[in-house]
Structures are given as structure tokens and as C-alpha cells.
Structure 1
Amino acid sequence: MGLFGTSGIRRVVDDRLMEIALKVGFSVGKRYRRVVLAGDSRTSTPAIKRILSGALVAAGADVIDIGLVPTPTLAFIARDFDAGLMVTASHNPAEYNGIKFLNPDGSAFSYLQQQEITKDVESSRSPSLKWDSFGQINAFPCTVEKHMEHILSYLPDKCRLKVVVDCGGGAASVITPWLLQRMGSRVISLNDTTHGFFPHPPEPLAENLTGLIQTVRESDADLGIAHDGDADRMVAVDKHGNFISGDKMLVVFARAAKADKVVTTLDASMSVEEMGFKVIRTAIGDNYVSEELKRQGNFGGEPCGAWVFPESSLCPDGIYAAARLLNLVSRQPLAELISDIPEYSMKRGSVAGGGLNLSLVEESLQCLNPLSSSLLDGIKLNLKDGWLLIRPSGTEPKIRLTAEAKTPEQCETIYQTGLKCLKSCLSREK
């Protein structure tokens, strides 16, 4: 893996990450004169933020530290600055941390911007400092309130529901429960402390949200909502405690936005096309979705729970998504909103590994008789009644596999064939 993955820089916390933070601060500080800085609730975040802010100031930048807030809140505030830096590892486990890089429009740094940072981090040259050119560090009050007011300006109607919110011990703790209360709902808040030790794995998957599902059922709530560590993701549970897949949530939000063009990633379900949208597929990563939304599309997102609403920001905003969903469910139960969306069998998994010989994998997979293939991100094979995607992870040293088909038996066959071929190719490369 290179310095940048699919969502900024991310790695297990160690002395190398601290060194990277120092060099990143110098690199960003010499290019962007006004930088807004924030972080999530991880135990290592304050230390990394201090390293970043010190290097930014030494490079001549003025820094505004807005404290512990979600990434979408930082993205909203960043519109008045030259750049935003978020110290977070998003949905990765607590031992990870990293840095997200945001432009004023909420989009992630482009490939060219990333390459500039990478060149500086990998350079052995020391930065040139001048005692009389240091910047300043200041606070910026009421950032959460400003973000809430921005969201409420789009969604002023009262939504008198009972909602369970699982903040996951992350940055959503400081905003989502309060926002939904402001919208008129009764909120049951779970895991809303921010001591850095997550009560369950921070990736908002169904298997990690048993507490949310149980509470929704026991409290007779209308809706359940969960976030990841930095709250750029949002997933939902209906009133019966059923976890709603990200593919179905993608359709729900796209229909609500009256979108004619939907931007999503290669791993989203084939059911999205079947719902009548013109679908533009990108490589995996919300940065690719946001970049494409600059050119076309009314709504975009990833089935992992990252939703991008261009009218608000090009940063995935789990807070805004929670409010939008609340507004929709106040008029029609979530189970009804998804009732006409087809659901196919999908299986996801991974194997340990880094490099991947795509030509070798593609050759090995010809036994599946693909109709077509794409090398946009790893390799995706389009099959008669499904598809298979094999790609290196952009956040961990793993190779990910995803298969979808019309029936569970077909899906399992595709997945197991892909897994067998992948392991064979990896063993041949050793």
C-alpha cells in the first residue's frame, strides 16, 4: 500500500505515523495558509493533532482547531478555509488512526494533491523554517451548532418519532442525538461517550449493532441509526429491528433526491440499475464518488453507508443523512420505503495480502465465463446472473472479495470460485 489509501492516510498507531503527521503538517502548511483541524475520539488523536498543528504553524499556516467533531462537521466549516485536516481512522479498529484531507467544497484531496503530500513525506530534506513567519493557532466556537443550523435549514419540518441512535463511542456523540431532538424526535442515545475505547467495532455492520437492534425492538422505536467513528457513514434499522442494507439505502436516498443520475461504486448491488436510475460506477472510495459528482449526478454514495448530498457538501455526511432519513420516515415507515427494492444474495470477505497480479487473477477466473470485465479497481467480472469483484483494500493489508447473484446458491458458487482462484494466484506469486 502507498501512503494514501481510499480515504486519506490510515495505519496502526506507531512512531512512523507520528513522523508522517509531522511531515504532513509541514507539507500542507506551506501550501494552504488557512487550515481548519479536527479529530475523532481515539486515544491517539490529541497527540497526532498537536504534532500536525505544530508543523502547520511552523510552516507558516494559521490553524483553527475545532476540537472533537465528526468529519462532516469539519467539511462544513472548511468551506471558509483553504483546507481541512481530520485526524481519524474512520471505521477502522481503535488501534488505527490517520488523516483525512478535505478541500473547501468537502471533497477529498485529488490525486495530484495527494502526490504533492506524498513527495514531501517521502523526502529526506528538512523543511526550511523562519522564526518570524510562524502562523497562529486559534479556536473556532460553536462549530457543531453551525453544522446543525445548516442541516435544519434544509429540513425544517418537525419529525415526531422515537429514534435510537448508536454513536459507537465516536464523534457523532456530540451532534446526532441533539440534532434529532431539535427536529422534534424522542431520542434514545447509545454509546455516546468519547473516551476512545469503542464499545463495539466501529464499522457499522449488522453484526456490530446487536445492541441497537435489540433496543429498537424493546423500546418500540420507529427507527434506529448508527454511525462509524468519524460519522461520515450512517446505516439504519427499521422499526422491526431489521438492518437495512446499504444498497437499499442508496435507492431510498436517490429517490428522495429525485436523482436521474446516481454515482456509486463498483461494489454496489446490480439492483440499483434495476430501479430505473442512470448509474455511474466509480472505483471504491467516497473520494471517487465525490470527484465524479463534480461532473455529473444528483446524488452519490457507497453501500458501506457513505452518502454524498451535493446540495450540502461533497463530503459524505452521516449527520445530514440521519436527518434526511428521519424526515422520510416521519412520512412513511422505512420498511415501506424499501418494500419494492429487489434484494439479491451478496457475500463479502477478504484474505490477507498486499500486491495483486491482476492479469494472473483474470486468467484464472475465466472458468466463470464472464460476459465482460473491468480493471477500474482491481478486477470486476460481470456474469450472466451476477458479478465478482476482487480488489486490494485501500485501508488495510487485505484483498477483498465481493460476489452478488440472483440466488444464494449462485452467489456462493461465484464467491468460492473467486476465493479459490485468488488463493491459488497468491501462492504462485510467493
Structure 2
Amino acid sequence: MTARALIIGAPRSGSGKTSVTIGLLRAFQRRGVKVRGIKTGPDYIDPGFHQAATRLPGLNLDSWAMAPDLLRHLAREQAEDAELLLIESAMGLFDGIVTEPNRSGAASDLARLFGLPVLLVLDVSGQSQTAAAIACGFMHYDAQVKIAACILNRTGSERHKKLSGDAIEALGLPVVGTILRDPTLTLPERHLGLVQASEHPEMDAHIDRLADVMEQSLDLDAIFEAAKPFDIPTGSTERALPPPGQRIALAEDAAFTFLYPHIKREWRAMGADIVSFSPLADEAPPADCDICWLPGGYPELHPGRLAAAENFIAGIRTFAQTRPVHGECGGYMVLGEALEDADGVTHAMTGLLSHSTSFAKRKMNLGYRQASLLDACAIGTAGEMIRGHEFHYARVIDAGSDQPLAMIADGRGVEIGPSGAKRGHVSGTFFHAIARA
């Protein structure tokens, strides 16, 4: 089976791409189409919504962090036994960092690399014919990126729909539907973006409502036909992160949720066993595992429960005496001495590393990271370069006395300085590793 594929893009964040994508995924699934979702850029939340809509695993593809061969490999895997791939852009379609060609992180890189057309979602609230000028700009900005069709989102009336739609169609760009303004279609958010699919109390009902709207408002047949057969060369896993062990104890619960889908998938494909445990349920890492991994998440929302999880703390301390333990972002916070919550209350953490962090004294850290490892750890060997991403509001308030794990630079190579920590078998960083450079 050869899947068809289409990129869903927009001029900016907040245009409604995610709601449109989730609704389309469920609407096509209702029709019996085997449809899968992909999210571009460093986003580990939206693939969960894609999975909730399709009941099939989601995926991230990031053209800055992942070499082209790895992108091809992961994309072909996602397309296996699928009929349709909907690839949701992060931010605006062309938004990325200024770097080497087609390695900016923008969804437009994937449009060029895979030769895929774009379905443009235009939020036309507050404008009418001017929407055609924006569409015209997209049509002519990059000759290698084809805009196949357009959706008008958040229209206010039939007159608004006609004014906007007629002006765009006069350019020769098909309008495949319009969605009326409805604030209840918006997904809930919090300090790191959307609330995750698993936490939404009525997620399935909300997705069904989105699908109802898409079925009523959009021409699904035209959208399917706009997608292009997805026939790309075979890729390679050479730059993928190898499994850090044969049996990996992976923390998974409401406090530890942020692990890129491709990492777990590739670890399993390379022969690793992944054994989940829950620190919030006071579970220790299983003793028959040879490495423990604490991913990112929201430990700052559960510091009291984590501090009181005596079995977890004792178990991970015992584990760390003889085997590697690694923490990313939220996991790194839990590996430290203490975590100060939003109310300024300090909670003791595992103490496996000597730093302390605070969510009361917030500072946003956001961006791509190039990490040159200073010592061997779960994500690579000494001297190896790892590409990843950092997004958090917590900050280090006591750096502690451990050795730094890496020297980091931003996506353009501008040096930032030392990052993370290493002590004995234990390592941690605020950045999330995505792939080998």
C-alpha cells in the first residue's frame, strides 16, 4: 500500500492547525481510511493528540535535529500500511532557524525533501479579501513548496466566507471548506502549551466534535485528492539515538510524559526491552533493568507526591549505585537535591545530583541545542555531538558541585556554555535529546 501525504500549514501559531488536523484525522478514520499523523518540529505533545484521534502511534519529524536519511527512515515507517499521512506544521509553515538549506526545522523543509503539497489553514478573523493577499504570498514565496488548497478558519458569517473565499479562488487556489468561528473548538493550554491528550477528561468526545465540524465544513474528498502519493527513498537509522541499554526502566506517569515517540520506537526496533514504572505510584525502577531513564514532564505539578515516594527514592538510589540513571528536563529536576514549587515550597528530591531547581522563580528557556558530551552517558559517548531541544520555565537556583555533562550551543552554533550534570552513574540535562548530529 502506498500512502498519500499532505502537509497542513498556516501563517502562524494559533491559526487552528492542531484542531483542524485532529478533526481531519478522526473524520478520515471514521470513513475507514487508515490515517496517521506526524507533527513537525520539536513537539512531543501533539503526537499524543494525533494518536488519540487515530488510535495509531504519532510521530515527530524535525529537519534541524534529524539528518535527512533519518527523516526518510522515520517517515517511511509511519507510512507503512497507511493510506493517508497528515503532517501538521509547527508554528508558521516557513518558520525555522537560519542555518544550512533544508535543516531549519520548518515544515517547508519537509515539503521540499518529500515533494509534498500543503493544505493552508487561514484564520480569516478580522479580515476578508486581505486573506487572498496572504494566500498569494504563500503561493509564490517558494517555488519548491506547492500550496495545493486552502481552508478558511474562524469565519464569522456567510458573507465573510464569500468575500474571503471568492478572493482566494480568483487566484486559482481551491478553497476546500470554511469553518465558522467557535471558541469551544480550542484545546486547553497551560505553561508548556497544550494539556496532553491523556489528561483531557473528555478527549475522545472533543475529538469526535472536531470531526463532526470537519465533516460538515470541509470537502474531505478534495482534501484526500490533494494529498500526493508518498514514495520516497529508503532512509537510515545511522544518526538515531541507540538504546542506552538492553532493558530500559522508563518512568511513565503524569509527572514523566515527554519522550519523543521515535526514540521509544527505534529503541524497540533495535532490540531493547522497555519496562515502564511509575514514580508517582511509588514504584522503584525494576531491578532486572540495566538502565533507568526519567523523561521530561510535569514534576513541578506533583512535587509533594514525589518527595513522599519513599520506595521510588530508595529504589532509584540503590539502582544508581551500580547502573546508569539519566534524566531529561523534568527528570533532571527530580534527580537533584530539591525542587521549589510555584508557591515557593521546597521539596526534597532524590539527591542523586547536587543541583536544586525552582518553578517559583521562572525563566523561559526555549530553543534547539547542540550538545558536545564531556563524558559518556545514556545519550552518547564522550566527545559525541547530540542534537536536541530545550523548553522549560523552571531554573537552576543552586548549581551544585557535579561535573557538567555537556557544552551546549544553540541551533546556529552560538555557544551557551556548560549544561547538565554527571556524578558516578547518574547524568541529567535540561535539554531533550532527539538524534545524533
The TM-score with structure 1 as length reference comes to 0.32
Q: TM-score, with normalisation over the residues of structure 2?
A: 0.31
More helix per residue: 1 or 2?
1
